[in-house]
Structure 1
């Protein structure tokens, strides 16, 4: 029964895919999925399957789990790859959430175009996810919980066991005499999901045995409603999106429509959605702020900022204003925080002169107090004012590379050359994908 459900699901949702990436924790659910996939690829040998085990290092048994996963995958004729990740304990993100985020990042590295990631969540997991969303006061998007099929990385994410119960999966594992690992953290009821699993859902299902299926059905209906909303607002979102991926405030219409457009905009760029209270704050404190204000709202690792009547998604980067990179001519240097590469290179049609003897070349990011005259301009101006004139948002002004000859600013990457350093000997080449 379970195998026929899986086979039908794979062929219905992955008709173009020939390769599956199986997330293998080694627990009961993924162990059963591994066994099912072994049967599937033996029946349909034109399909491929790769198992990926993510080693979090949180358990004393983690190394042993690696060996078990390798052995079980080998028994099924499936290659197994191990990904090791390191959690930063003690930060503001819960261990549970951080482990999940790092796990999916590791899995995404293996998903090529049209590949399908397989995970082993089932109907009981869906019930727990629904209840957690209910506890948070989520709307239809949150109550939709986990979809059966969705886009993921360069391919797709499929949960082929989502309509099966934990009891059915346990029955399959027992029937086929499978062994699996038991993660001791699953007994720790300090975690909300474990508390629900051990204390709440058994009593709910005892009282209402059909609740598991009812929740799966309700989650699917919420998902359909959310998909319909996206479809109805697609044209408005397209009109509101600027070419630099910012959101044009003047296209947001009413508060009700505008907040939905903001949510869909954030979803498009894989940003974790803000809570209802945070979304309310974005609307009233950022969108509706005075024109001369510099409003922002921070949550998780992102900020929403406003500049020139547009909203921007900004990563919360650490300050790099004290960063110093010495440079040699015709050498390429990597800049911090994904800011690309930079080089000062010889060019017969350049706009910079060569540095003179004793002028050490460096790249810095601290614009405070600098006053210069750009080539072709009249008079000196403070760099802060020049950034404003060139339309550089405030959060990027300490992330724009500044080229120094000695202790003098010679050029601002992508903007201008300082008058006294103009020439035709070389160019400052900053390669940075702003999208």
Structure 2
């Protein structure tokens, strides 16, 4: 039964040779999926499969689990690799959420264009996911829980066992005398999902044996409603989006439509959705703020900001105003916090003069109190005012590289050269992660 469900699930995607990536935790569910894929590949040798085990390092048994996964994959004739990730314990993000995000980030690296990620979630997982969504007060998108097929990286994410129960999977594993690992954390009912698994869902299933199918049906209906809403608002979202993926405040319309557009916009960035309370705050304190305000709302590691009547999703970074680094001509300097690299390059027809003897070349990020005269401007102005004139959002003003000759500001990357340092000897090249800019 399980094999036929797997084969039927994969059939629609296997008209040509396919590359699968199987998420292998080593637990019962993924161990059974590994055996099923071994059978499938034996009967369909034109396809390829890579098993990926993500080593979180949270358990003292993690190294043993990795070795067992490698051995079990070898027995099934499937290549396997181990991806090691590091979690930041004690952060504001839960260990469960961190582990999930890191796991999918590690898996994403192995998905080829058009490839398929296979995970072993089943009907009991779906029931738990819907209950968790209810606990959070989620709307249709959250209550849709897990779909059997969703886009992922440059391919698809399939859950071929989603209609099968945990009992069916366990029965299969025992009948085939499979071994699997038991994660001791799965017994810790301090975690919400474990509490539901051990304390709640067994009672629900005993009382209503068909509750898995009923909940799956409700989740599917919620998914259809959410997909319809996205389809109906697609054109409006495209009209509101800017080339930089910002969102026009003026195009949001009414509060009801505007909140849904904001949710769809945030969905483009693959971030954890804000709660209803947080979404209400985005609308009231960011969207509805006065035109001259600098509003923001933070959650997890991101924040929604407004600038010139557009909304921006900004990653939260620690302050780097005290960071500085000396650099050499023609040698790229790596900048902090994914800001890329910066090079002062000797050239003909540039905009900067060469540093004089004794003028040490350096990069800094603190614009406080600086007053300069850019090339072509009349009189000096404070750097804060110049940033405003050049349209630099407030959250980027302490993340824009400042190039110093000695103790004097010579140029601001991507914006201007200070008149006293203009010349034709050098160019400033800033290769940012988002774009390449020059001045």
The TM-score with structure 2 as length reference comes to 0.98
Distance (Å, rounded) in 2 between the aligned partners of 1:249 and 1:379: 35
Counterpart position of 1:146: 146
Distance (Å, rounded) in 2 between the aligned partners of 1:90 and 1:144: 30
Distance (Å, rounded) in 2 between the aligned partners of 1:15 and 1:200: 42
Counterpart position of 2:270: 270
Counterpart position of 1:217: 217
Contact 1:409–1:418 (CA under 8 A) maintained in structure 2: yes
Counterpart position of 2:294: 294
Kindly state the Cα deviation for residue 369 of structure 1 after the two structures are TM-superposed: 0.6
Matches within 5 A, 1:365-404: 365-404=365-404
Please list the CA deviations of residues 374-425 of structure 1 after superposition, one character each: whole Å capped at 9, or x if unmatched: 0010000000000000000000000000000000000000000000000000
Counterpart position of 2:6: 6
Counterpart position of 1:312: 312
Counterpart position of 1:255: 255
Contact 1:14–1:116 (CA under 8 A) maintained in structure 2: no
Contact 2:338–2:433 (CA under 8 A) maintained in structure 1: no
Distance (Å, rounded) in 2 between the aligned partners of 1:133 and 1:348: 61
Distance (Å, rounded) in 1 between the aligned partners of 2:427 and 2:15: 51
Aligned in 2, Cα 1:280/1:162: closer, same or farther, shift over 3 Å?
same
Contact 2:114–2:156 (CA under 8 A) maintained in structure 1: yes
Kindly state the Cα deviation for residue 16 of structure 1 after the two structures are TM-superposed: 5.9
1:90 is paired with a residue whose SS is coil
Kindly state the Cα deviation for residue 311 of structure 1 after the two structures are TM-superposed: 0.2
Matches within 5 A, 1:130-169: 130-169=130-169
Contact 2:17–2:46 (CA under 8 A) maintained in structure 1: no
Q: Which runs of 5+ in 2 are unaligned?
A: none
Matches within 5 A, 1:163-178: 163-178=163-178
Q: Which runs of 5+ in 1 are unaligned?
A: none
Distance (Å, rounded) in 2 between the aligned partners of 1:3 and 1:298: 46
Kindly state the Cα deviation for residue 434 of structure 1 after the two structures are TM-superposed: 3.2
2:358 is paired with a residue whose SS is coil
2:333 is paired with a residue whose SS is strand
Counterpart position of 1:74: 74
Contact 2:130–2:144 (CA under 8 A) maintained in structure 1: yes
Moved more, 201-210 or 329-338: 329-338
Moved more, 29-38 or 216-225: 216-225
Kindly state the Cα deviation for residue 215 of structure 1 after the two structures are TM-superposed: 0.6
Kindly state the Cα deviation for residue 373 of structure 1 after the two structures are TM-superposed: 0.1
Counterpart position of 2:33: 33
Contact 1:16–1:114 (CA under 8 A) maintained in structure 2: no
Distance (Å, rounded) in 1 between the aligned partners of 2:20 and 2:416: 50
Distance (Å, rounded) in 2 between the aligned partners of 1:354 and 1:64: 59
Kindly state the Cα deviation for residue 99 of structure 1 after the two structures are TM-superposed: 1.1
Counterpart position of 1:58: 58
Counterpart position of 1:417: 417
Kindly state the Cα deviation for residue 58 of structure 1 after the two structures are TM-superposed: 1.2
Kindly state the Cα deviation for residue 154 of structure 1 after the two structures are TM-superposed: 2.1
After superposition, the CA RMSD in angstroms is: 1.0
1:250 is paired with a residue whose SS is coil
1:330 is paired with a residue whose SS is coil
Count of residue pairs the alignment pairs up: 435
Kindly state the Cα deviation for residue 3 of structure 1 after the two structures are TM-superposed: 0.4
Contact 1:402–1:412 (CA under 8 A) maintained in structure 2: yes
Counterpart position of 2:191: 191
